[in-house]
A and B are shown apart, each in its own frame.
Chain A
Amino acid sequence: MARLLVQLKLRLLRNALRSSGQAKAGFIVSLIAAVLVAAGTFAGLAALRGNSASVDLTTVIFTLFAFGWLILPLLVFGLDGTLDPATLALYPLRMRSLAVGLLAASAAGAWPLANLVGLLGVTVGLARGGLGLLIALLAVVLEVLFCITLARFVTASLAGMLRSRRGKDFAALLVIPIFALYELFTQLVPKLAGEGKLSPAKFAGVDVWMRWLPPGLAAHAIQDASTGHPGTAVLRLALLAAIVVALGALWIRSLSRGLVTADSSTQSSAVRGVALPFGRYGLRGTVAARFWIYQRREPSSLVYWGITVVVMIAVSIRIILTHGYLGGLISSAVFGSALMAVLHSNSIGLSGPGFGLEAMALTGRRALRAYFSGQNIALGMVAVPLLTVISFGLAAVAKHPVDGFLGMAVDLAGIGAALGLGGIFTVTLPYPMEKRAGSPVPRPADGFTGDRLGGALGTLLGTVVAAIPVVLGVVFTRSDPATVRMPVLVVCAAGYGLALAWTGGRLAARAAEQRLPELYQIAVRSKL
């Protein structure tokens, strides 16, 4: 059974590789990333040799790996068929052979191997002497077993939920904190390290409580064995092994339950509210109501806005506390609105087959103008307060809160450009989208990556260029009194942004009128 399930896992990986150019590229990137993570982790752990905080840092790294194994399977739940017990429920399999097989399948693949190889860096960094080396090898094996069992336990326990609509929504939203952590790491860590504020010694003592978690037990067992405390080392490893066995037992229990339990897809709660909003505002208000609801209820919309916020903060965080803070404010506003343009440049593809309902009712250019106008109103209702709050927040962090108005001026111009360009591109370069297992947001369907790239580049560059007049206004009026320049800048930028959004909406309506059936055929190919 173990062999069969490992073969199944490898076959699933191979088929994903064969399915499309996009999947192939994704697989190669994932493979390269796994090799880099393995090499980087090994080198990082090995470089801790002789460092006073080596055991603390090793504990942190071991814990991070366990955290990754806890979170990532939730994101790729539908991608790995061996993670979902329901896929095997039809077959007459004994629990023992099934459990062994699933564990073996978990350990197969590039990432588990990268995990193992990377963590073996402790044999150089932390282990001392023959006993230290032996305990290090055992500790790494137990740590990897712990990670795999933990991942299996969590996915088996939550399988019913993860198969349901709510579970998928929840898993999609996890991408926001993960992306934020990634940005924090890539933006802040190099900066702090460069300023000498982050050195290995700073980590001394951080594992006060982490040392009692299973990954901490593994790291400290190596330290104990290397410093002449073999008894404590063996006790720690025995405790870790007991935890792995207990976790395995819990996993087998939830696995047996999962094989005979229905998912929770039919259990749903009712929505609040009695009617669609904006009932008095005709077709424009009707469309705005639908898009407004979608901004709140569709997980990919929430993910898009979350990513926009993270990017706005990330691009400015390095310089917001320096004299060049104004550059940070401006770049945050420009990148925020440009990203918004990119993410909303294919609204018809993102509407999916439901667009058929709209296509049947959009009778003529006037109706299409109302459609794009309603869409812009809904997106603007989210974008304007959100981007403005971020700009004022950053200005407050920079200790120049009034300069938030300058960021706001750039926001307003950028949002207007993003809405206008988004409408034009959704009509002229639409493409079907697909929600795939393992991807928290929809991706372009196979064969449309070029269209996606064209739409992204067009809206990105267009928004940046369109924001330039306001950016120049902000820069060249620096010597004027703030009480004069700020109201003028904000009002002019708002007017400019409105004009861009209005013009874009009208152009989009004109283009859409000629090709509504073709737009529908694109939308209907979306699998959302």
Chain B
Amino acid sequence: MGEPAIAVRGLRKSFGAKEAVAGIDLEIAAGSLAGLVGPNGAGKTTSLSMMTGLLRPDGGQVVINGLEVWADPPAAKAIIGVVPAEARLFERLSGEELLEYSGRLRGLPAGEARSRAAQLLEVLDLAEDAKRLVADYSTGMRKKASLGCALIHNPSALFLDEPLEGVDPVSADVIRRLLTRFVGSGSTVLFSSHVMELVEQVCDHVTIIDKGRIVATGTTEQVRGGKTLQQAFIDLVGSRADGGEGLSWLGSSSS
């Protein structure tokens, strides 16, 4: 592998006594569609926030396309796009205004921002709702609008936190195809997800994180090791529930 598009070295973060991310190392090649998976509270969102300049790490280094994020945050931010886990948007703008605002914030001329916003809304199947307030959007529509905001300046690396959560299958397919096309042009995508089937289907690189540490990383084939990704994941992080043992009254044969 040549110079990685995303390189993370020794990244760590603690909140009080809790170590959320315990020094992770990660390398993603340019043009990769990489997945970051892990159970709830594993440190996925904290890691992505630190990689994108939105949460100051306690230590470590993040390099994106040769730019060290925490040495020069503005330069790094200019070449990345972020879709946060909760669609963090301006609720009182319409979808159209939101995307145009995002483009203009990124320095696009007003006309260009408007034109790209219209194209993205069309591709994301939001054109009919372009003039509705974001406050009235469903969860899936917010995710798509958030993706539009992250793409409008044509970033070279895209970070997505649970991009398909709450998105209907048709919209999910639109997003999947958009991301595949995006990485086909040489750009890089890193996204976190709980949905193993999705990661297995679309990602060429997978990293499994648990309790703030990376427990497996590599190509999807390497991490799966001949099993399904779901099984490999459970084998690595362990099953934590007892499957409802003790609920003897539950079920139609009981009263």
Contact = CB atoms under 8 A, between A and B. Distances in A.
9 contacts: A165-B133, A165-B136, A276-B101, A279-B104, A297-B133, A360-B54, A360-B82, A361-B107, A521-B54
Contacts of A265: 136
Contacts of A362: 74, 105
Contact of B104 (A165, A276, A356): A276
Contacts of B105: 283, 286-287, 357-358, 361-362
Given A270-B131, A270-B132, A271-B132, A363 B78 contact: yes
Given A275-B110, A289-B101, A357 B90 contact: yes
Interface stretch (A13-21, A83-91, A146-154, A512-520): A512-520
Contact of A271 (B73, B94, B107): B94
B197 interface: no
Contacts of A287: 105
Nearest to A527: B86
Interface residues of A, number: 43
Contact of B77 (A280, A293, A360, A521): A360
Interface string A339-372: 0000000000001111111111111100100000
Contacts of B93: 290, 293
B54 A290 contact: no
B100 interface: yes
Contacts of A356: 54, 82, 84, 88
B63 interface: no
Contact of B101 (A280, A290, A355): A290
A247 interface: no
Interface residues of B, number: 40
B178 interface: no
Contacts of B107: 283, 361
B106 interface: yes
Interface of B: 52-56, 73-75, 77-78, 80-82, 84, 86, 88-94, 97, 100-102, 104-107, 110-111, 114, 131-133, 135-136, 138, 149
A271 B97 contact: yes
Contacts of A361: 77, 102, 105-107
A275 to B, nearest CB: 6
Nearest to B100: A276
Nearest to A299: B92
Nearest to B52: A360
Contacts of B100: 275-276
A27 interface: no
A512 to B, nearest CB: 12
B110 A279 contact: yes
Given A266-B136, A293-B97, A363-B77, A354 B110 contact: no
Contacts of B53: 360, 517
A279 B113 CA distance: 10
A279 B101 CA distance: 10
A287 B101 CA distance: 8
Interface in A291-318: 293-294, 297-298
A289 B110 CA distance: 12
A404 B81 CA distance: 51
A359 B78 CA distance: 11
